[in-house]
Chain A
Amino acid sequence: MTKIVYIQPDGTRVTVDAAPGDTVMSAALAGDVDGIVGECGGNMMCATCHVHVEESAARRLPAMTDDEDQMLACTDAPRTAHSRLSCQLPTDEPMVVTVPGSPT
């Protein structure tokens, strides 16, 4: 079990124990974390699992693919230098991510 911390737009922190094989997106859904929708089921089609990743974690994560880079143009909350799609992020190490906001 790896602890993933999700910081909500209002500052609330939600900690989820990710199961082996989980992505940061699937762990959020299983852990009932608000603001991560994952509408396409992790296929890089919808950009509704947008998170901001802390710089320290960003360095050890797998590099962004072109597809992920291009889908990040489609997020609800504005993209920043820390933006990633959480369906592309493994949970093999503990991590803190920020949820930029949720559609209603």
Chain B
Amino acid sequence: MKPDATVVIAGAGQGGFQVAASLRERGHVGPVVLIGDEPGLPYQRPPLSKNFLLQPRTQIELRPHSFYERRHIELRHARVAAIDRSTRRVRLTDGHTLAYDHLVLATGARNRTPPIEGVTLDGIVQVRTRDDAEHLRARLPATSRLAIIGAGFIGMEVAAAGAKAGTETTVIEALHRPMARAVSPVTSTHVADLHRAQGTRLCLGRTVVRLDGDHTGAVTGVLLHDGRLVPADLVVVGVGVTPAVELATDAGLDVGDGIRVDAYLSTSDPHISAVGDCAEFPNTHTGTRTRLESIQNAVDQARCVAARLTGTPAPYTAVPWFWTEQFSTKLQIAGLGQGHEDSTVLGDPAGGSFSVLLFKGGLLAGVESVNAPADHTAARRILAFGRPLRRAETTADGFSLPQWAGRHCRNQDRTAAAHDPVDAGAGRTADMG
């Protein structure tokens, strides 16, 4: 791409923002237009289900206005309505048309609305945008009974905020443990116990049949399939998301579970890339095509695309990591341990600080760390370029992830992993020890 090329970015969430910021950081001089449909400056979403719900003064803007001015990043408050690939133009919802040399789709995802009777009653909220979270925050103090449908990360974080606010809180989940799709049973159990110790009720293995309301249209409770009624005057629905792919589908791009991209995050049109929650990419850590919903993935994919557009292409191989915080307990996850066959627990779950090492094919695939950041940082290093860690090595007395990483990973490679994914990929199979 020429240095004076115009890059248009559809979506001003964390991924879209980072594409713009990294393009400028890498010296791109052509126009950069960041298009977002929410009012205000681009902001961080992770606090919305955490501190933001309890502290009105939580600052969430990613950067001040001067950041965009100084770097000549044009912020447009609109949404891309259509892409005309033949003329390389996008039409915006405000009626304007913009020409692009390269288009980055960072359209994110939308909350899934379950097809349940009563879901449009007053007092049923979701948490995706700043407006959603402000609405929830405003209602929380006057809420006597909060019900949360869905025990994923968002649901459990909101439950923690509800309990901290002194609200009687109940979490309803169809699966038999919280965060079941994301974490191992050991970690689920630990988190469930934390919530129960704070008085939160967990209704696990229960599905919702209907939401009940009064004559004013306000929600009064959640009816479960076993006939039980959970009374509630506020219901938060957190049952996952669907990627925002309509724009790509309408433009005739390849779309699977998300917008399909190659290892370099290019869509089926070489003039269009996709990053973040909306992108389905070939995942070098699992050997499958995946879509990840995380800050790390949005930011690192954005950096990967910005690097390619400014002349340093490299495939995307960053180690995935995630975090959540509930009741001052930090859960940090490195890698992707879903589908593991074996695990090793290090530390002391009863004492509140431990890590669960997850193995696929006998090799380390993911690590869940509860109040154990040293294990987490070590896991990230090992998964990026340590030699493969075998389960048998981790069951020895006194085994320590940081010590193992210290012996088998070169410290300075961390930066290289983020910026030179080719080497990092090689490191996963080569013996670096």
Which residues of chain B come closer than 8 Å to A95, judged between CB atoms? none
A32 interface hit (Cβ, 8 Å): yes
A9 interface hit (Cβ, 8 Å): no
Q: Output the residue of B61, B412, B415, B418 with the most chain A CB within 10 A.
A: B415
Which residues of chain A come closer than 8 Å to B325, judged between CB atoms? 43
Contact B64 A71 (CB under 8 A): no
Residues of B near any A CB (own CB < 8 A): 22, 25-26, 44, 46-47, 57, 59-64, 66-67, 70, 295-296, 299, 303, 306-307, 323, 325, 330, 332, 371-374, 376-378, 380-381, 402, 411-412, 414-415, 418-419
Which residues of chain A come closer than 8 Å to B47, judged between CB atoms? 41
Given contacts A43-B323, A45-B332, contact A76 B66 (CB under 8 A): no
CA distance A9 to B422 in the complex (A): 27
11 contacts between A and B (CB under 8 A): A29-B59, A31-B64, A40-B295, A41-B44, A67-B330, A67-B371, A73-B374, A73-B378, A74-B414, A104-B22, A104-B419
Q: Which 3 A-B pairs have the closest CB atoms?
A: A74-B377, A70-B374, A70-B373
Which residues of chain B come closer than 8 Å to A103, judged between CB atoms? 303, 415, 418-419
Given contacts A29-B64, A39-B295, A43-B323, contact A74 B380 (CB under 8 A): yes
Residues of A near any B CB (own CB < 8 A): 21, 26, 29-32, 39-41, 43-45, 47, 67, 70-71, 73-74, 76, 78, 102-104
Q: SS class of chain B's interface: helix, strand, loop or mixed?
A: helix
Contact B303 A104 (CB under 8 A): yes
User: B91: shortest Cβ distance to chain A, in Å?
Assistant: 32
User: B386: shortest Cβ distance to chain A, in Å?
Assistant: 14
Contact A40 B374 (CB under 8 A): no
Contact A45 B414 (CB under 8 A): no
Contact A76 B418 (CB under 8 A): yes
User: A23: shortest Cβ distance to chain B, in Å?
Assistant: 10
The one of B60, B295, B303, B377 that contacts A71, using a Cβ cutoff of 8 Å: B377
Which residues of chain B come closer than 8 Å to A45, judged between CB atoms? 323, 330, 332
CA distance A44 to B325 in the complex (A): 11
User: A81: shortest Cβ distance to chain B, in Å?
Assistant: 16
Which residues of chain B come closer than 8 Å to A31, judged between CB atoms? 64
Which residues of chain B come closer than 8 Å to A26, judged between CB atoms? 59
Contact A41 B373 (CB under 8 A): no
Which residues of chain A come closer than 8 Å to B378, judged between CB atoms? 73
Given contacts A70-B374, A76-B414, A76-B418, contact A32 B299 (CB under 8 A): no
CA distance A7 to B222 in the complex (A): 56
Contact A32 B70 (CB under 8 A): yes
CA distance A32 to B46 in the complex (A): 21
The one of B67, B332, B402 that contacts A73, using a Cβ cutoff of 8 Å: B402
CA distance A92 to B295 in the complex (A): 30
Contact B377 A73 (CB under 8 A): yes
Contact B63 A32 (CB under 8 A): yes
The one of B63, B372, B402 that contacts A29, using a Cβ cutoff of 8 Å: B63
Which residues of chain A come closer than 8 Å to B57, judged between CB atoms? 21
CA distance A71 to B375 in the complex (A): 10
User: A56: shortest Cβ distance to chain B, in Å?
Assistant: 28
Please give me the residue from chain A that is nearest to B66 by CB atom: A32
Contact A32 B67 (CB under 8 A): yes
Please give me the residue from chain B that is nearest to A102 by CB atom: B25
User: A28: shortest Cβ distance to chain B, in Å?
Assistant: 10
Which residues of chain A come closer than 8 Å to B61, judged between CB atoms? 29
Given contacts A39-B299, A43-B323, contact A67 B373 (CB under 8 A): yes
User: A68: shortest Cβ distance to chain B, in Å?
Assistant: 9
Which residues of chain A come closer than 8 Å to B415, judged between CB atoms? 76, 103
Contact A40 B323 (CB under 8 A): yes
CA distance A32 to B69 in the complex (A): 11
Which residues of chain A come closer than 8 Å to B380, judged between CB atoms? 74
CA distance A52 to B303 in the complex (A): 25
Given contacts A32-B63, A32-B67, A76-B414, contact A71 B373 (CB under 8 A): yes
CA distance A65 to B402 in the complex (A): 18
A-B contact sample (18 more), CB < 8 A, given A26-B59, A67-B330: A32-B70, A39-B296, A41-B46, A41-B47, A43-B46, A43-B325, A45-B323, A45-B330, A67-B373, A70-B373, A71-B373, A71-B377, A73-B377, A74-B414, A76-B418, A78-B411, A103-B303, A104-B303
